[in-house]
Structure formats: C-alpha cells, structure tokens
C-alpha cells in the first residue's frame, strides 16, 4: 500500500495548485499522451472490414497495451525516484498529475459565475467544456443541472478513484487507472463505431470504479448532510454500474432532481431521474460546489486517518 501521508500531500498540493498552465503548454498532460496512443491504435485496429469479433479482441489488446504501458511507466518512475534524495517530493508532484480537484472546481466555478450574473450564453459555453450534451438551448436550470451532474461524476473519476488506486497501487495503480478512464472516455461508447472496439475499455473502467464510485457518493452525502437514502434508492437506475452513485448522492444532498431526458448531438436520450425535489437553480449550484469542497476535505481527512492508523506495509 502507498503511504497515506504521501497521498495526503498529493491531494493538498494538487488542490491548492492544480496543473500549472505553463507546464501544460510545454509538455501537455499525461492524459493527452495516453489519448494520442489510443488514437493511433484505434485508427490502425478499429476498421469495419476486420469484423466485429476481431475488433473486440483488438480492443482488449489496446486496453492491455495502454494500461500496461502506463503502469510500467509508473513503476519505473517510482523506483527511480526512490533512489534520489528528493524522491519523495518528486513522487508527490508526479502523483498530482492524476488528480483533478483544482481544475474541476475551476471549471464549475466558471459556469457558476456567469449564471449567477444572468449571463446565460457565457454559462452555456462554460458548461459545454465539461459535458458532452447539447448546451445551446439549455435554460438556467439545465445549465445548473449539467454542471452539478458533471461535478458529482467527476468527483469520482477525477479525484476519488485516482486517489483510491494511488493508495492501493502507488504510481503504477494511479497511471493504470488514468489510462483505463481515458480509454473509456475516448472509445468506450455504445455507438456502432465504438461498440465492439471499445467494449473492453468500458468494462475495465466499470470494474476499476466499482469501489471508488460508492465511496465518492458516500463522501458527497456526508458532506451535504444527507442523501444516503436517495443514493441507495436511485443509483441503480443508471445504465452505468457506477455513475449513478455520486449523481444520486448529490441530488439527495441538495434535495433536488438531477438527470432526466437530455439531448446529445441533436438526439434526445432518456436518462433516469435522481432525487424527487425541484429542478436545480443557481443557488443549488453554489451549494453543490460547497459540498464538493467539503467532500474533498473529507477525503483529505480520510487519508490522514489512514496515515495515523499506519495501515499495512507501504510502498514508500
């Protein structure tokens, strides 16, 4: 097990600083590198003439290659860092690249500010940066709902799950998870082009998030002072085995309604409804962002508690 104190350090550093834009401009981000690798393999192997079963197996191989290479890089970095005097600090800094507390807060706040000022057009453009749905015709409530749903789901995908796999498997576990999650985002879709090739990416990401998604939902419910009942009742409605947990927890904590029919690329999709309250308002988005900050704080406290307990053998 990775040292919980190093996990805490990575959470604190990333939460306060994020991923510096100067670094991003110079070398991009590890997730971008993973995406490039996936695009190369997808262009080469996801060709219709290969047939469905062949494409499915090539998708499996793609996931193994991408996640295996990511874990291998993490292992090499962790071993090499352990042999230098500033290795601990280096590992903490590298671990921050797999976390997204700061950037998620920044992106959602960028939606909240214009929405609170009555600038719906700017709010729509801002929310389009963090969701895949059509945003051009969303009203205030639709924008708030989209931002809250993204905030809740990304709390798991971008924070709790990476922290969990960092704790369990060190940098190899963190990097492998980021590779799986990126693969699911890029190719794990149900559209005909992706259904066979992306099957393994979607299933692997489902497995990797089984425990973290439920932890994320619990943290949001605790941070909001309620929502556990709504989470347990409504989370199984979601087609994904994981996405419904943090979204339902957020709906329950805010005592509002999330989900429902949503348009993607001009096509309306039926989605489950979480919660039984009113449609969210800008005030609910403000409260949701506060709940998110408190939930991040609870995650920090959990890492500190594990550190105090000195749980098991540690990698560093």
Instruction: Label residue 315 by pLDDT band (50, 70, 90).
Output: low
Q: How confident is the model at residue 106 (pLDDT cuts 50, 70, 90)?
A: very high
CA dist 174 to 157, 208, 268, Å?
Answer: 12, 11, 35
Q: What is the pLDDT of residues 64-83, one digit of tens each?
A: 999 999 999 999 999 998 87
Q: How far apart are CA 52 and CA 60, in angstroms?
A: 13
Contact 144, 278 (CB under 8 A): no
Does residue 84 surpass a pLDDT of 90?
A: no
Tens of pLDDT along 118-167?
Answer: 999 999 999 999 998 889 999 999 999 999 999 999 999 999 999 999 99
Stretch among 69-78, 80-89, 204-213, 296-305 having the lowest mean pLDDT: 80-89
| Residue 311 pLDDT greater than 70, yes or no | no
Give the three-class secondary structure for 135.
coil
- pLDDT at residue number 132: 87
Residue 313 has pLDDT above 60, yes or no: no
Reported as type and span, the H/E element at residue 258 is: strand 258-259
The string of pLDDT tens digits covering residues 282-298 is: 999 999 999 999 999 99
Residue pair 197/46 in contact by the 8 Å Cβ criterion = yes
pLDDT above 80 (res 314): no
Residue 235, pLDDT above cutoff 60: yes
* Residue 132: partners with Cβ closer than 8 Å, 6 or more residues away: 264
| Average pLDDT in the chain | 93
Nearest to 114 by CA among 133, 129, 99, 101: 129
CA-to-CA dists, residue 20 to 24, 25, 26, 110, 124, angstroms: 6, 9, 10, 17, 25
């Amino acid at each position: 097990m990775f040292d919980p104190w190093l996990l805490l350090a990575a959470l604190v550093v990333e939460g306060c600083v994020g991923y510096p834009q100067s670094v991003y401009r110079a070398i991009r981000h590890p997730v971008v590198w993973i995406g490039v690798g996936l695009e190369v393999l997808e262009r080469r192997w996801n060709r219709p003439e290969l047939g469905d079963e062949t494409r499915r197996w090539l998708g499996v191989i793609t996931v193994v290659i991408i996640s295996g290479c990511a874990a291998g890089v993490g292992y090499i970095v962790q071993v090499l860092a352990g042999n230098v005097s500033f290795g601990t600090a280096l590992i903490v800094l590298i671990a921050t690249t797999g976390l997204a507390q700061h950037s998620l807060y920044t992106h959602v706040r960028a939606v909240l500010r214009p929405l609170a000022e009555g600038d719906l057009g700017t709010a729509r453009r801002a929310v389009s940066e963090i969701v895949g749905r059509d945003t051009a015709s969303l009203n205030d409530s639709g924008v708030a709902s989209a931002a809250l749903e993204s905030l809740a789901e990304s709390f798991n995908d971008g924070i709790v799950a990476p922290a969990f796999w960092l704790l369990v498997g060190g940098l190899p576990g963190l990097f492998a998870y980021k590779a799986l999650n990126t693969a699911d985002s890029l190719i794990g879709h149900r559209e005909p082009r992706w259904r066979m090739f992306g099957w393994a990416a979607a299933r692997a990401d489902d497995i990797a998030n089984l425990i973290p998604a439920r932890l994320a939902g619990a943290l949001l419910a605790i941070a909001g002072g309620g929502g556990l009942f709504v989470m347990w009742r409504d989370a199984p409605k979601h087609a994904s085995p994981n996405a419904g947990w943090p979204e339902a927890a957020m709906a329950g904590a805010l005592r509002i309604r999330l989900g429902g029919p949503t348009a993607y690329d001009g096509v309306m999709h039926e989605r489950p409804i979480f919660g039984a309250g009113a449609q969210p308002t800008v005030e609910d988005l403000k409260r949701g962002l506060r709940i998110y900050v408190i939930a991040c704080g609870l995650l920090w406290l959990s890492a500190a508690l594990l550190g105090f307990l000195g749980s098991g053998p540690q990698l560093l």
